[in-house]
Chain A
Amino acid sequence: AQSVAQPEDQVNVAEGNPLTVKCTYSVSGNPYLFWYVQYPNRGLQFLLKYITGDNLVKGSYGFEAEFNKSQTSFHLKKPSALVSDSALYFCAVRDPLGGYSTLTFGKGTMLLVSP
């Protein structure tokens, strides 16, 4: 089975401060990992993904994520938060060797950036 957990329902950060949104996963093999963002009343937008290679992945809007195999984590980070980063963030996973052709999404973390 493949699963993903986002332990925080909400993350609050002040504008200009660094932000981290946490994600942990469970798969039987090497995972494909994704982050998506959802702005109010919109569909999900792809931010970044890890497939293989460098553990630090850079994505859209200045976001990056670090793959940590020993901790089975894929936390989303940004050095300096903007108010416009306020949105709902989803982590997703797929085990390419697990016979699945679908992604499993976490429950989402609401990021609120205050001015």
Chain B
Amino acid sequence: NAGVTQTPKFRVLKTGQSMTLLCAQDMNHEYMYWYRQDPGMGLRLIHYSVGEGTTAKGEVPDGYNVSRLKKQNFLLGLESAAPSQTSVYFCASRPLAGHDTQYFGPGTRLTVL
């Protein structure tokens, strides 16, 4: 049982490049989330999903797209990376029941030059 995993762990992009971050969970959780963590800003919600095939915007969705084609995977895409998207990205998941306790992945550190 690996829990929540994220791929890749580190990535450096040039401005304008695109990439996809992959989050996978093996706990059969319904809900999945993408956050970004910046110094002094805490965690801010980018997008989330309440089930396979559904997505919704969070607090800071601009410049990102997501897809949840399979229940266990939640993809975060950057179509044209900007330096402002330099951050640490965390994925989390939680079951339908359980009072909202979220389980986090180890994070992806992204640098956009």
Q: Which A-B residue pairs are the 4 nearest by beta carbons?
A: A107-B42, A43-B104, A105-B43, A44-B104
Q: Mark B43-58, 1 if CB is under 8 A from A, else 0.
A: 1110010100000001
- In the complex, what's the smallest C-beta–C-beta distance from A109 to chain B, in angstroms? 10
Q: State A103–B100 Cα separation when bound (angstroms).
A: 8
Q: State A46–B76 Cα separation when bound (angstroms).
A: 23
Which size bracket describes the interface of A in this complex? 20 to 34
Interface residues of B (CB under 8 A from A): 4, 31, 33, 35, 40-45, 48, 50, 58, 90, 92, 99-107
Interface residues of A (CB under 8 A from B): 9, 32, 34, 36, 41-46, 49, 51, 90, 94, 101-103, 105-108
Count contacts between A and B, CB distance < 8 Å.
50
Q: State A102–B58 Cα separation when bound (angstroms).
A: 9
Quick one: which of A44, A45, A94, A108 contacts B100, CB cutoff 8 A? A94
Q: State A113–B44 Cα separation when bound (angstroms).
A: 27
Q: Which one of B45, B48, B101 has the greatest number of beta carbons of chain A within 10 Å?
A: B101
Quick one: which of A9, A51, A103, A107 contacts B102, CB cutoff 8 A? A103
CB neighbours of A45 from chain B (8 A): 104
